[in-house]
Each structure stands twice: as C-alpha cells, then as structure tokens.
Structure 1
C-alpha cells in the first residue's frame, strides 16, 4: 500500500473541505436524498445550472476543488487533468492514478473515476464523526450490472449495523466479512484493537486504504473465510454484515462476493451463529444482520423462520439470544429485490432468466418467504443463558439519532439486573421511568375515566404497551422515591384490592418493562 500517497490524499481532501455537509449545501437536500437512492440526475442538474450562472457572472465555478471532486467521484462525470490537479494539489492527478482512483477518460485530457470516493458523516454515542470511504463504482456510475468482485460502499445495511453496535468500551472486536472496512472503523471508536476479515483480497485492500485514509491504525486485516483467520481466538465483540443473500447455486447466476457466502440458502447465517460461541469471551456479544428462510415441511407444515434461528442458537451453543425480525418478503419479491440490486434491469431478458433461477431454487427447497433482521448473541458470564427473545417488530423505530446501540445496552443491563433478583429483592428495589417514556390516554366524550391507556417509548424500538389502572399508577409512581413493594401496596389500598394478588399480576409486567427499557433501576 502506498501510505505516502494516501496521506497526501487525506491532506488534499481536508483542504478541499470534501465533507457531507458541504456537498449537501452544494446541491441541496432534495438532490442529496436522490443520491442516497442512487440517482445522480438532480445533483447534476443543480451543478449545471450553477455553472451557467457562473458563466453569466464571469466566475470560474469549476475551479472550486469540492465541485471537481463531487463531479468526478459522486456524479461519475469526467474532469480535466488540470481540474483534478487543482483539487488535489499535493497528490496530483498522477498520484490519484497510482492509487487507482482515476484513469483516462473518453475525452482527450480528461479523467474518469475508477473508484468511488465520497464523504460519510455519522453520529454515535461518542458524538459526530466524518470519514472518506473508498469503494467500487456503483451501478449508476458503471451503467451496467456490477462485477462479481464488487466492493460495496455505504448502504442501508451498513448504517443499520453500525447503529446497532453496542458502543461500550471493549478490548477486542472482530469484524467478520469487513467489505470496505466500515464496521471495523466504527468499532475502532470504542475498541482497543479490531481484527477485520474477508474472503476477498480486493475488499481487504480497499478496507486497509480506508483505514489509512482516515488515520485509523488499530485495525488488523486478515484474509480468509468466516472464523478461519481467527481460529482459537476469542473477542469481546463480534460484528458482521455477512454475505447472507440467498442465491441459487445455478450456473450462470452471478455470485457477488459482497453478498453471497457460497453456501446454500440461509446456511451462511447458520454457520456464523453456530460458530459464535467458541469465539466469544465470557460476556462477549455478537451482533449481525441476516436472512432466514420460511419453508414447507415434509408434510406440508410451515417451518417458521425465527424457529429455525432458535434451533441454531439452542443446539448446544449456550448463548443468550435476542433476535428481531424487521421484515418478511415473499420468495418472488425477495428474488426481484436482489436481482435489481446486482444492476440487472427489470423487464430485460437477463432479468427473466435470473428470476426463473431464483424461483426454481426456492420451489425446489420449499421456501415460501424470507425474513430479515438483527441477531444479538451473548456468551453468559454465568454457566447458563437467561435471555431467549425471538420477536417480530413490524412497526417503525423510535427516534434514535445515535443509533440503537445505547438502547440495546440499556435493555441488556436491565434484563441482567431484574433476572438476578428474586421477588423479595425486586420489591425492595427502586425504579424510575426512562426519560423517553410518555403516557397516552383516550376518553369517550364527556367521560372522566380513560377507556384506553398506553405507555409510549420515544426512542429504542418505539414500543407501545397497553396499560390498565394498576400498571399506569405504578409507572407514574416510579420517580425514584419509593421501592417497588411499597408502591404496589399503596396502589392496592387505593383500588381496594388484595395486595398479594396485585403483586402477582404486576411483577411479571414490571420485569418486562425493565427488559424493554421503559423502567430503569434507580
């Protein structure tokens, strides 16, 4: 790796102010939103109008370094060698060619991008951050389907996993299938050291470039499949956006390295789940994205996708598990989604060929639908697991500017707190309701008593919990002054009900509210 040239590139990008907020100001929010969807036309139209206005005013817009870089690397337009020399004065256009960022364009004296290089901004629990990320050119820039060794940049799955990452300090983190290196870079913000693996040499080269470009020197890159490069090692955290896309093992179907793990069906997710235990330190956590299949059994009975995941975890792993299904697609819709993702145009003959291959594969294996979601597995510090949550969340999330990581950490801490307290210890404890919790009440017109009450979670998963009079009174009294037992006894006295019966009714629901982050230990 040409460290000296990468360092010069970093200096030039910093000097040019090649940042997300600068580009957003350059072409506006609407064009920025279109770019996130892979559409460059709105931004190109804005810049074209700016150039026309500059010509009328006698100004030289093209001399602005950020405009030249944006046109070249974000919009896929050619720029003259002189423009790029002005935008990257330390590296120069020749240095950019040596790094493989650009090559000769179709117009004489012009250059075109060979790699995607764009700014990336984010917010996590440690604050706001900004990096530059190199990846392969996308479908919009290429004008054709992707190459099978394509190295993916920032996408929806990227930001989903980075937002889920529990950000508490860790000694060691493993990023399994690092791709362009983005998850390893996020992990480096809270970990002393990070090991990043991939089966693609090209991906590892680009990931190492990204780490150097952003001044990150705590990541070790290793080549190999799944856990092979870390045999015998254990980590405090494992994060993975594995190549989980279910792809037919049929000749002629492209196998994209960034999304296809080379195994049949959902076996890549099963393999990671089953292998996690021997690579997690006590208390260690694995967080990953994945797909799982819904199938028909031998007698025509449905085989539940989340049930399949549960069987992988509970087959001797000894791990805590919290698995959340966020979406479920029919076999046909799943096939359409991932064929389009590879850059094959719907309606084309090639699209129909691939569509048939996908549907044939699903039919042969009895797959009727595919679930997508998040997996959190933890190696207990004690001898046996205490957490086994497998749930479907179809509603929208709460407001989580820094991601869900902090919320997940609070929920795990709450679960650990309550599950290790027997009834007596719980009744002697003091709870407070979380700062994002509000109460909703609905009344019949003219009536004083509510007919519907609910607790609403503003952050996290935006959960809504139905309330009755007893639970509403309990949560309202959780201000840190009284313990659980005295609050329940006081409510029983007001409602003129048996205190023991009310306690038996409320305690399981109180534990559930602690598990979900509505109530916190004071």
Structure 2
C-alpha cells in the first residue's frame, strides 16, 4: 500500500498572517477591545453601538470605526443590496475563485464596465482601481462618502477615490484588510494580511465543535475568530499588532458578530488567566534571519515561535481541548523528522498528531519566501539576500524545512501518544471532523496494541471509501492488473492496493471479527492463518490510521 505524501496542504506554507510574537508576554502592553471600562468582569459584556477601546494606540493609522454606529448596519445593507457577496461577485466577473481576480485584467475590466454599484465596488476594492468620486458616491447611497473616508476605507485623490483597504466577501463574511502595496511603504511592519492559502488551509482543517471558549492566536484581520464564532460561546482574538486588532474589531462590527473579544498583546499574555476548548494559530512561521515583515518573520531564531506556542499552549487548554497550529519547522541531518519534532511535546500532557505537507531544501525554501515578499530588489538584491539566508541556515545546521499542521489534544490521564504522518495528496471540503476522528482512531489503536486484541475487533470500511480496479485483457480473459483505494472527502488519503487488500476491506462489514475473517483470507492465499495474522494486523493498523477502516459503531462518529 502506498501513501499520498506531497501536496494536499501545499498552501500550508503560503502567506502567514500578521502576528508579531516577541520574546515574552508584556501584560502592560495588553489592551482590550470590546470591553466595558472598569467593569472587571470577564467575559466583558457586549456593548451595542461603538466599539469601546482601552488605551488606543496613538499613531497616524485610522481607527477603523464609523463615527455613527448605525453606519455598520447601513454598510451591511448596502453591500448586500449591491450583491457584494461571494457568489454574486464570482458570477459578475466570471471566475471560479476570488484569488484568480488579477489573472485577466482586460477581461475583468470589460465585465465590470456596466457602472452598477457592484461593478464599482469590485473595481475599487477587489481590482484596486481608482473610480470617479461621483461614481463612488452613487454606488454607496444612502451613505455619505465622508463616513467611508473617516473610517479609513477609502482615500480621495482629486476627482477620484481609491481603496485604502481591501474589502473581500469570504464565506458569508465581509473582511477588511491591508492592500499589498502597504508592504512597499515604511508602514510595512504594520501590514495586516487577508485571505491567503494558509488561511484557507487552516479554516478547512479546524475542528468545528461547540466550544465554550476559543482562542485565535495571531488573529490578523480576525477571519479564524469569526469562522469559530458560530460554534463558540466566546472567542478571544489576540494579536500584537495594534492595527490588526483594530481591523479585527472593525470586521466584527461589520459582520454583526458580538461574541468575539479583540485583544492586543504578546503570545498568551492577554488571556493569561483563561482556558480554551480550542486554540487556533497561524503564526509568522517563516524561518529567516530577518524581521523585516512581521506577518512573515517571527524575529526569533529558527522555528522558535512555533515551538514556543506548542510548549505554552497546553497550559491554556481545557481537558480534552484541541490546539491547531500551522507550522514550519527546521529538520536536521541524521535523524527522523518526526522524532526531532516529538521533542517539542515532552511532558505536555497532550496527544499530538503532525501532518507534514512538504519538505523543502534550504535553497528552495529561501528562494520561495524571498520571492514571495521582495518585489523591488532586482536579481542582484535577490542574490545577496538569498546567500544571507543560506548562510544563516548553514550556521544553524538546518538540512531541510518541514511544513504542515500540528494538532494537540490535552489528555492528562494515561500515556500520551505522538504521531507524525505525511499528509494526503488532497483535501476535499472541510476536514476538521476527519482530524478529530483521527484522534479517536489512534485512541482505539492504543487499546489494541496486542495483535490478539485487534483480531477480536469488528471493523467496517468507511462510507467514504472508494475502490477502483484496472483490468487488463489476457489469453484467459480480463484480469485485475491494479487497484487503488481512496477516500472521497475530507482528508482524502489514497494508495495502491492488491487483490488481497481489496478483499480484506470489502469483507470488513462490522459483523465478523478479524479473527473470524482470517481463515478465509489465509485460504485465498494458501497461507497458514497463524503466520498470516501479524501481517494482517500490521496492514489493518495502517488502514485504520488513515480512516479506510473504522471500528464498528464509529462510521458516523469522530
């Protein structure tokens, strides 16, 4: 049986969100948004109308707030009436996905030439084009252009209006975040990233069960906090960047989400006295010798930022709570990458499942991330920076770089397990329940470590299992020449199969134990059942790990 190993989560390593995680928590710098000054109560009561801000940052950034609190509702109504929603925008411009927006600019210009409010909003906020001030004023009626200007959404340049932020419809949300052009200005360190590949990856992998308390650590524009809000009683969205906190607070108000508290601070400092059923983090995981881009560079050596989150998170998890972190990590020569990573979790009281999506050489890794952000250095500047990065990696003894998802579950009773896997080649739709089911399946395997215990179990093939066979003509007629198995949704593991494996899975119907199936399997192979049993058990364990086979009764459970 072969394993899919390469590209299912390739985007895991794309575009980390803005979050500066420094050397330690600084309680004096922690600031609370969505709070009642002086109440002392936690969680703070929701305040209708204006966002209450403690110690607002004194700088030239706009506050990202409407002077008239009713303008949030007006803006929601205006965008809905214009059709500025995921499906409507895609239909209007005839593309499959909003990230494709810049792929054919002349064609998109033609498709947005009608002058409707939707076309104006698409050009302004998605295509980043200036529009005439009169056209803009007509598109946003009955709102006034001045309210958009004062809130920091647009800028006026003579007779034209340009976007000051990106406004993007995403999964029934409208999200404001920074334009990429900010990265080329002195304010680049305050850049707040929007929807990147890593955002989508983590959103698909997040375990979505009801939580009393959820933490989005390094919230950026707040997207993961908002996606968690429907299944959480309360969500804390934490970021060290004050601009990110203000944008997250603005987005919460814009989307009428009242159970998200936007907090400014370092690591777990703003939530030091709290525990969470779910912690989600997409930190600045790029391993580099620089700290030029806060959303990219952690400013700590090697993979220290991800290691630190992994080591500190268990203290903030409830029993049975999950922590999910998108990570890059350094891999040293002369050792198994999983064993190296396992050292992060000693004494954590957590079960840990790591899915590695890719492994890159230092040259490939450095080139990827330098080209991701350096737009104006030219080839000479690129070459200089590239060699600086390679020298840094050589000094640290880094042989390769891994990328993927780390999921931790706090379990204080019993012996904790650690599992390091290659990710499947594809993710099909939401995968959070598959991640949770993976923990349940590994728990099951921990209880049947002896072959005799496993053989006494009844297993059933997953309802998502698909078996495909290839037939080749021969003198004796059509013969099976190859088989593949794959899962049709979620973590879509796949692999090659032979006739024996296919028959084994087909006969796992949940009615008979493996011990009862063994004689027929042995007879088909003309083998001794006693000698075949260890091989069958080894194969069964792998099929269970990847979700092809489930303990009877778990077909619809996680």
Q: TM-score, normalised by structure 1?
A: 0.85
SS in 2 for 1:482: strand
In structure 1, distance between residues paired with 2:223 and 2:254: 12
Quickly say closer, same or farther: Cα 1:453–1:69, change in 2 above 3 A: closer
The answer to whether the 8 Å contact 1:292/1:306 transfers is no
Q: Deviations over 1:146-167 (max 9, x none)?
A: 7111000001000000111011
Equivalent in the alignment of 2:170: 120
Q: Is the 8 A contact 1:270 1:309 kept in 2?
A: no
2:517 is matched with which residue? 487
Give the number of the structure with larger relative contact order, counting CA–CA contacts within 8 Å between residues 6 or more apart.
2
- Name which of 117, 121, 131 aligns with 1:69: 121
Shift of 1:521: 2.6
SS at 1:262 equivalent: coil
- Asked if 2 retains the 8 angstrom alpha-carbon contact of 1:474 and 1:488, the reply is no
Contact 2:485 / 2:494 at 8 angstroms: preserved in 1? yes
Gaps of at least 5 residues in structure 1 are 52-60, 122-129, 296-300
**Retained in 1: the 8 A contact 2:112–2:119?**
no
Using the TM superposition, give the Cα deviation of residue 210 of structure 1 relative to its aligned residue in structure 2, in angstroms: 1.1
The aligned counterpart of 1:195 is 236
Match of 1:127 in 2: none
Tell me the equivalent position of 1:124.
none
1:410-465 Cα distance to aligned partner (Å, 9 max, x none): 22222223433466664454322112212244456415664544432333443334
1:372-399 deviation digits (Å, cap 9, x = unpaired): 111111112532213x211234x6215x
Q: 1:471 touches 1:506 (CA, 8 Å); kept in 2?
A: no
One of 127, 137, 161 as aligned partner of 2:179: 137
Residue range with higher mean Cα deviation, 93-102 or 376-385: 376-385
Q: Match for residue 214 of structure 1?
A: 255
Q: 1:437 aligns with which of 454, 457, 465?
A: 465
Shift, 1:86, TM fit: 2.1
Q: In 2, distance between residues paired with 1:496 and 1:331?
A: 50
Q: What's the secondary structure of 2:227's corresponding residue?
A: helix
Which residue pairs with 2:341 in the alignment?
309
CA pair 142-40 structure 1, distance change in 2 beyond 3 A: farther
- How far has the Cα of 1:49 moved from its partner? 6.5
1:183 aligns to what SS in structure 2?
A: helix
The verdict on how the C-alpha distance between 1:305 and 1:489 changes in structure 2, with shifts beyond 3 A counting, is closer
Q: Deviations over 1:190-228 (max 9, x none)?
A: 222111111111101111111221121111122111122
The DSSP-based 3-state class of the residue aligned with 1:148 is helix
- Structure 2: which 5+ residue stretches go unaligned? 1-50, 52-65, 553-558
Q: CA RMSD, aligned part only?
A: 2.7
C-alpha distance after superposition, 1:34-74 (max 9, x if no partner) = x615x6362454324763xxxxxxxxx22x11111111111
- Distance, in Å, in 1 between the alignment partners of 2:375 and 2:337 is 28
Give the corresponding residue for 2:433: 406
Alignment of 1:242-321 (within 5 A): 242-249=283-290, 255-295=292-332, 301-302=333-334, 305-313=337-345, 315-321=346-352
1:244 to partner: Cα distance: 1.0
User: Which of 416, 426, 438 is matched with 1:385 structurally?
Assistant: 416
Q: Secondary structure at the match of 1:320?
A: strand
Quote the residue 2:109 is aligned against.
Answer: 47
How does 1:329-340 map onto structure 2 within 5 Å?
A: 329-340=360-371
Q: Are positions 1:472 and 2:502 aligned together? A: yes
Q: Contact 1:328/1:370 (CA < 8 Å) preserved in 2?
A: yes
Using structure 2 for the length normalisation, give the TM-score.
Answer: 0.80
